[in-house]
Structure 1
Amino acid sequence: MNVSAIDWAAVADGAAAVLVLVGAALCLTASIGLLRFRDVPARLHAATKPQVLGLLLVCLALALSLRTWPVVAAIVPVVLIQLATAPLSAHMIGRAAYRNGTLDERGLYVDELREARETPPAG
């Protein structure tokens, strides 16, 4: 087959379709994990890791499918904001669950916050 005869637009569209399906599957597993997992750390893991990767794959598929610079310029802030806010919000929710006592402390291997909680603040 001649390399110049390859239709690169069709290849990009096929790759975009695969990326959308994989991204949607990751988002679906994230939502199932939120419903099925029982404790806060497992739910936070399900809410952040596959969801962020699924969104990244869908955004990449959108950029591959539309192939214009304005689309890429609109997608980049979405991805950056998602990458910045998902870990931060998960950290804050986990910290609040620890403080409220809704976190199962027996499941923690290392409890780094116990010393900070038991020691009074200096000053």
Structure 2
Amino acid sequence: MVLILIGALLCLTAAIGLLRFRDVPSRLHAATKPQVLGLILIAIAIGLSLGSWQVTAFLVPIVLIQLATAPLSAHMVGRQAYRNGTIDEQSLLVDELDESRRTPPAAGG
């Protein structure tokens, strides 16, 4: 029950963070980090409480898919927000996507 409660609280904080944070990077952080950890804790709690290999075999792909898709979707949303201009570029420490800061490749290879 403790793991389910902590996992549910982490998922709740992720939802609150999506509503309360103002900029896209903060919202992406709130959407991925606590939500994924909350899901992992809930899956561990279910696996421990039911104690069945069939349940564990069902929960492992769910956790792996979540671990694979959450960073990818956050990356895509963040990059699109950058392209749309909805990210405050002054608050970025490193702007790796700024074309004017890139040096052209050396001629001849």
Picking from 35, 38, 58, the partner of 2:19 is: 35
- Encode CA deviations 1:73-92: one digit per residue, 9 max, x unaligned: 00000000000000000000
Show the 5 A alignment for 1:1-123.
Answer: 17-115=1-99
1:67 positional shift: 0.2
**Structure 2 residue matching 1:38: 3-state secondary structure:** coil
Tell me the number of residue pairs that the alignment of Structure 1 and Structure 2 aligns: 105
1:106 positional shift: 1.1
CA distance in 1 between partners of 2:59 and 2:41 (Å)? 11
CA distance in 1 between partners of 2:102 and 2:88 (Å)? 18
The one-letter code sitting in structure 2 at the alignment partner of 1:35 is L
Indicate the percent of aligned positions where both proteins have the same amino acid: 73
The one-letter code sitting in structure 1 at the alignment partner of 2:89 is E
The one-letter code sitting in structure 1 at the alignment partner of 2:29 is H
Aligned alpha-carbon RMSD (Å): 1.8
Structure-1-length-normalised TM-score: 0.81
Q: Which runs of 5+ in 2 are unaligned?
A: 105-109
**Structure 2 residue matching 1:71: 3-state secondary structure:** helix
**What's 1:5 paired with?**
none
Q: Which has the larger radius of gyration?
A: 1
Q: Which has the higher helix share?
A: 1
Structure-2-length-normalised TM-score: 0.91
1:115 positional shift: 3.0
**Structure 1 residue matching 2:94: 3-state secondary structure:** coil
Structure 1 residue ranges, 4+ long, deviating more than 4 angstroms after superposition: 116-120
